[in-house]
Structure 1
C-alpha cells in the first residue's frame, strides 16, 4: 500500500513539475511528460501501471479521457467558427474517414500489421489530440482562423476516432464469429443516436437546472462531474467507448448555452484537465513494454513517415479545396496534427482487447501508436511557431496590451507602446472616447469589453496585459477581476479614483488588479491633469554606459516610471517590483515633463510663484498640496472625454 501511495505521489509531482518546467523554458510540456513516463516505466520499471494498479487501471484511464474530452467540448462555441464552418465540416465529415482508410492501408502494407490491428490503428490515428494542440496554440499565438480549425478538429475528431475504432473492432469480432452481424449494426446505430442525443439532453438538463437555481453553487461542480461520468458509463454499456462522443456533445451543448457560472466551471475543469493529462501521459508511457519497443524496425519508421508526410498533408489539401482557406492556412493545417492522450489511451484499451481475442500483433499496435504520438509531438511542437511565423499566420509578433478606457492619457500611452513595438488595443463603451485614438491610428474596439461578443471578437489570448483606465473605479475593478483568471492576476492593472475611503466602502483585496503606478492614489483626473500640463510618455534604452542610476538623475522631478521592456519583449511594471531594477538593454517607459524643457519649465514656474502678489511661502506650500484637478491654474478642458 505504501508503495502504491509513493508511486501515485511521484506521478502527480512529476506531472506538475513537467508542466512548470515547460512554462519556464517554453518547451512543449508533452515532451517532458513523455520523458518522465519513459524513465519511470520502460527504463527503470519503477512504475508498471498494469501490475501496480490492477483491474482499476483501464477504467480510470477511460474516465479521465472522458473528463478531458468534456472540458475540451466546453471551449467550442459555434460563434467562433463563423469564418471556418465549412473548413471544420470538411475536416470532420471527409478528412476523418479518409485518414482512417488510408492509415489502415499504410499500417497493413507498409507497417506489416494484420488487417484487424491495422483497421483499429487507422481509426485511432484520426484523432489529433486537444491536450497537445491547446498548449501549442497558446505558445505559437496562431491567427484565429487556423487556430479555430485545429482546435475544433482536435476535440471533435477525438471522439469520432474512438468511435471509428469501436466500429473497426466490432467488425473484426463479427467476421471472426465472436459477435452477430445484426447485433453489431443495431448497436452502432443505437449507440450513435444515444451518444449524440443523450449528450445534448444532458447538456440542456445541466443548463436548465443550473440557471433556474435548482443546484446550489457549492454543488455545481460535483453534480457536473457526476453527470459526465454517468453519461459516459451508461453510453459505454450500449457500445464500448461510445461514451466519449456523449461527453463531447454534452460539453459543446453547455459551451453554447447562456450560463452565468460557465466561466467558473470551465476554469475548474481546466485545472483538473492539466492534472489529468499530466498524470495520464506518465501512466500510459510507463505502461509501454520494452520488448515491444525493441521490435520496432524500419517498417514502423516507414509507417510514421507515411502518416506525417503523405497521408495527412495530401488529404487535408484535397478536402479543403474551395473551403475559403488560403494556401498558407491549408499548408499549416495539413502539417500540424499531433496525436495525444486519447490515441495513447484508446490504443492501449483495444490492443489488450485484440490480444484477448486472438490477434497476435495487438500489443504491437500500442507501440506503433506511441511511435506516431512521439514523432508528431516532437516534430509539430517545435515547428509550429517557426512555420506560423514563416507563413505570416501569427496573430501578433508578441503578446500585446489591452487598454480599457479611451482618453488622452491612454491614447498617448498606446502611441508610446506601439512605437516601441508592443501591440496595443484600446476599447471603450463610448464611441467618442475612441476618436483621438482612431485619428492617431491606434487599433480600437467599440463595445462592452465584458460582453460575450468581446470574448469572441477580441481573442484575449493575444494580450499578455490588461490596463483598466476609465474614470469609474468600480468598473476598473470589475474588468480586472473578470480578466484576472484568464490573463493572470499579476498582469491586470487599474487606476483608482484617488479618494480616501473608510473601511466600510473599501473593496475586498481579492477584487481588482494591481495599481498602474506606485502611487495607488494617482487617479484618472490626476493623470488627465498632468497631460494638460504637458506631461509626455518617453522611452529610454539603458546601456552599459548609461545606467539606471544615471537615468534617474537625468529625469525631471515628478517623473513616473511606469514599466520597462526587456530584451526578450516582456513587460515589467514598476508597481509590481520593489527590488528589481531595469538592466542594460531594457527600454524604460516613463511619464513626466519633457526632459529637454525641464529646466525651463522649473524656472518659469518658480518665477510665476514668486510673482504672486501678497502670497507668502506658507501660502504657496499650502497651495501646492491641493490635488491637481482642484487647482484653479489647471482646470480640465471641457471637451476632453
Structure 2
C-alpha cells in the first residue's frame, strides 16, 4: 500500500517540479526512480521501491512479468491519447516528409546505431541491432513538453509531433522483429521465417483492427448509445479491450491498434471530443508518472556500473550527432524544408517511454535465456533516453534561436468569427507559420473552416464557459471579427487585460465606417467593415503577399492596396518572424527589406515590391512592373447601401 501511494505522490510531485523548472517531466521522473531504486539500494542495501515482487523478501509490486504487462497496456493508452491529436488536416503538404522520416529515418538510425554498438562497446551483432531498433523512437511523452516550451515554425512542430507518435509502434515492431530473430538464433525450434510472418501479421492486424474498432466506437458515440457521464470510462474500457484483443490475435500489435483508433476518432466529428481529450490527458500524465519511476527503479546497481564506461559516451555521441542527422537529411532531402529546419529536427530527437519500456522487457527476458550481451540492453537504452532528453530540454530553445526557426513568444492567434473574410485571414496567417484558432457559433462556418484545415472551436462568444474549451497558453493576438459589433466589443473588454496577450484588435463598427473615426484597436482599413471584408474575400479568394525591397515603400504600398479596395492584413518581419497587424488608422508603419506584406482582394502591382504569392512552391519570385491603379470609387460604403443584412 505504501509503495503504491508513494509511487503516485512522487510521480505527481515530479510532474509539478518539471512544470516549475520548465523541463520535460521525464527528467525528474527518471531521477526520482533512480533515487528510490538503485540509488537507495547502493547506500542501504535495499530499495525503497521494488517494482518486481521478491518472494523471499516479501516486497515488490508486480509478480513475474506482470510489470511489463502493465507497462505495455499503459503505453497503449498513452499512444491512444497521442492518436487523438493526429488530425490529417494539419499535415497538408507534410505527409511525405513524415512518412519518410518514420521509415527512411528509422532505417538509417537502426543501421548506424547498430554498427556503432557492435564496434564501439562491442556488443554481439544481434544485441547491437536490437539496441538500435529500440532507440529509433522519439516519443510524444517527451516531444510535446519540449515543443510547449519553445515556439517554432508550425511545419517543424507538426513533423516532430507526428513522427513521435507514428514511429512509436514502428520502432516497437522493429524491436519485436529483431527480438524474434535472436530467439530464432538461440532456439532450434524457432525460425526466421516465423518471425517475419508474425511481424507482417502484427502490422496488418494493428491497422485493420484499429480502424474497425475505431469506426465502431465512433458509431456508439455519435448515436448516443453511451451516456455522457459514462463516456470517458467507456472509452477507456474500449481501448483496453481493443489492445487485449489485438495482442491476442497477433502479439505486440496492440500499440498500433490504439494509435489507429485514436487517429480515426480524431479525424471524425465526434461529440464531446474535447472532454475525452481532457480525461485522456490527465490519465496519460498519471500513467507516465508511474511508468518512468517504475522502470528506472527497476534498474540495478550492477547495470549502472556496467555503463560507466567512456565507450558508452562515444556511442551516445554517434547516436545523437551521426545517426539522427543522417536519417533526417536523407528522409527530408528535396522537400520544402530548408537546411535550418532540417538541422533543428536533427537536433530534437529525445527518446521516450516506448524505448524504456520495451528495453526493460526484452533485456530481462534475453538475460534469463543466457543471451550474451543482453545485460547491456536496459542500461544502454536508459542512458540514451536520459541523455537525449537532458540535451534537448536544456538546449532546444537555444538551438532554435541560433538556427532562426523559432517564433516570438505568444505567436498563436484566436479569431472570433467564422465569416469568409475571417477564414481567408486565418489561412494567410497559417501560411505564415502561425497557429490559428477560429471561434464561431455558426455550424456552417465552422464546417467551412475545417474544410480549409483550420482549427475550430464551436461556441458562442459572450459566454464565461469559453475559457474551458479555448487554450490561450501561447496566444499572443486576439481578433474580434464577428458580424456583431456588440460581440466584438465584448471580446475586447473581456480579454484585453489577460496576461501574455501582445495585441487585441477588432473590426470597425458601422458607425466608425460612416464617420471615419476609429480607435487604435480597429483593423485593416477605414472601409473594412464585416460586410466589405466578406465581399472582398468572396470575390477575390486567396491572399497575396509582397516581398519588400525598399522599406520606404510601405506607406505607398498600403495606399495603393487600399485604393483598389483591397484590404491589407499584416506585415511579417523577415528577421524575427513576428507579425504586425495593419490598423485602420495606420499611416506610418515601419518595415524592413525582405519583410512580407499580406493582403486580400484584387492584386496590386507596385514598383519596388516583389510578388511572392505564387512562388512558394517553386522558390522563385517574379518582379512586378509598375502599374498606376485607377482611382477607385469612394472607399466608404454604407452597409445599408449593399442590400445585405447582418444576422
Structure 2 length as normaliser, TM-score? 0.67
Is 1:75–1:255's contact at 8 Å kept on the other side of the alignment? Answer: yes
Matched, 1:14 2:10: yes
Matches of 1:290 and 1:320, distance apart in 2: 41
- Kindly state the Cα deviation for residue 311 of structure 1 after the two structures are TM-superposed: 0.9
Counterpart in the other structure of 1:569 = none
Matches of 1:334 and 1:12, distance apart in 2: 34
Classify 1:455/1:492 alpha carbon distance in 2 versus 1 (closer, same or farther; 3 Å): farther
Classify 1:480/1:222 alpha carbon distance in 2 versus 1 (closer, same or farther; 3 Å): closer
Q: Does the residue aligned with 2:251 lie in a helix, a strand or coil?
A: coil
Moved more, 377-386 or 452-461: 452-461
Matches of 2:38 and 2:329, distance apart in 1: 38
- Kindly state the Cα deviation for residue 249 of structure 1 after the two structures are TM-superposed: 1.5
For residues 118-149 of structure 1, the C-alpha deviation after alignment (integer angstroms, 9 at most, x for no partner) is: 22211111100110001111111121101111
Moved more, 452-461 or 181-190: 452-461
Counterpart in the other structure of 2:34 = 38
Counterpart in the other structure of 1:262 = 273
- Kindly state the Cα deviation for residue 331 of structure 1 after the two structures are TM-superposed: 1.0
Matched, 1:247 2:258: yes
Matched, 1:24 2:33: no
- Kindly state the Cα deviation for residue 373 of structure 1 after the two structures are TM-superposed: 0.5
Counterpart in the other structure of 2:113 = 103
**Alignment of structure 1 residues 516-527 onto 2, 5 Å:** 516=495
Matches of 2:433 and 2:183, distance apart in 1: 60
Q: Which residue of the other structure, out of 469, 473, 477, is the alignment partner of 2:462? A: 477
Classify 1:389/1:444 alpha carbon distance in 2 versus 1 (closer, same or farther; 3 Å): closer
Is 2:33–2:296's contact at 8 Å kept on the other side of the alignment? Answer: yes
For residues 575-629 of structure 1, the C-alpha deviation after alignment (integer angstroms, 9 at most, x for no partner) is: xxxxxxxxxxxxxxxxxxxxxxxxxxxxxxxxxxxxxxxxxxxxxxxxxxxxxxx
Matches of 2:269 and 2:470, distance apart in 1: 20
**Alignment of structure 1 residues 123-142 onto 2, 5 Å:** 123-142=133-152
Is 2:11–2:289's contact at 8 Å kept on the other side of the alignment? Answer: yes
Counterpart in the other structure of 1:308 = 320
Counterpart in the other structure of 2:52 = 50
Is 2:89–2:453's contact at 8 Å kept on the other side of the alignment? Answer: no
Counterpart in the other structure of 2:211 = 200
Moved more, 281-290 or 21-30: 21-30
Structure 1: runs of 5+ lacking an equivalent:
406-426, 469-473, 500-511, 519-523, 539-636
- Kindly state the Cα deviation for residue 101 of structure 1 after the two structures are TM-superposed: 2.4
Matches of 1:429 and 1:135, distance apart in 2: 34
Q: Which residue of the other structure, out of 201, 217, 221, is the alignment partner of 1:190? A: 201
Counterpart in the other structure of 2:230 = 219
Q: Does the residue aligned with 1:280 lie in a helix, a strand or coil?
A: helix
**Alignment of structure 1 residues 83-482 onto 2, 5 Å:** 83-181=93-191, 182-296=193-307, 297-394=309-406, 396-400=407-411, 402=413, 404-405=415-416, 429=419, 431=421, 449-450=439-440, 451=446, 475-477=460-462, 481=466
Counterpart in the other structure of 1:566 = none
Classify 1:483/1:220 alpha carbon distance in 2 versus 1 (closer, same or farther; 3 Å): closer
- Kindly state the Cα deviation for residue 350 of structure 1 after the two structures are TM-superposed: 0.6
Is 1:7–1:47's contact at 8 Å kept on the other side of the alignment? Answer: yes
Matches of 2:348 and 2:283, distance apart in 1: 26
Counterpart in the other structure of 2:72 = 62
- Kindly state the Cα deviation for residue 29 of structure 1 after the two structures are TM-superposed: 2.3
Matches of 2:639 and 2:148, distance apart in 1: 42
Q: Does the residue aligned with 2:122 lie in a helix, a strand or coil?
A: coil
- Kindly state the Cα deviation for residue 360 of structure 1 after the two structures are TM-superposed: 3.7
CA RMSD of aligned residues (A): 3.9
Corresponding residue pairs, total: 485
Matches of 1:498 and 1:316, distance apart in 2: 49
Structure with higher helix content: 1
Matches of 2:471 and 2:435, distance apart in 1: 19
Classify 1:203/1:287 alpha carbon distance in 2 versus 1 (closer, same or farther; 3 Å): same
For residues 526-564 of structure 1, the C-alpha deviation after alignment (integer angstroms, 9 at most, x for no partner) is: x999998989669xxxxxxxxxxxxxxxxxxxxxxxxxx
Q: Does the residue aligned with 1:229 lie in a helix, a strand or coil?
A: helix
Moved more, 147-156 or 95-104: 95-104
- Kindly state the Cα deviation for residue 448 of structure 1 after the two structures are TM-superposed: 5.2
Matches of 1:312 and 1:356, distance apart in 2: 32
Counterpart in the other structure of 1:410 = none
- Kindly state the Cα deviation for residue 363 of structure 1 after the two structures are TM-superposed: 2.8
For residues 220-275 of structure 1, the C-alpha deviation after alignment (integer angstroms, 9 at most, x for no partner) is: 22222222112222222344322111111211112112212222211211111111
Q: Does the residue aligned with 2:387 lie in a helix, a strand or coil?
A: helix
Q: Does the residue aligned with 2:461 lie in a helix, a strand or coil?
A: helix
Structure 2: runs of 5+ lacking an equivalent:
41-46, 54-59, 441-445, 498-505, 522-636, 641-645
Q: Does the residue aligned with 2:460 lie in a helix, a strand or coil?
A: helix
Is 1:490–1:513's contact at 8 Å kept on the other side of the alignment? Answer: no
Classify 1:322/1:26 alpha carbon distance in 2 versus 1 (closer, same or farther; 3 Å): same
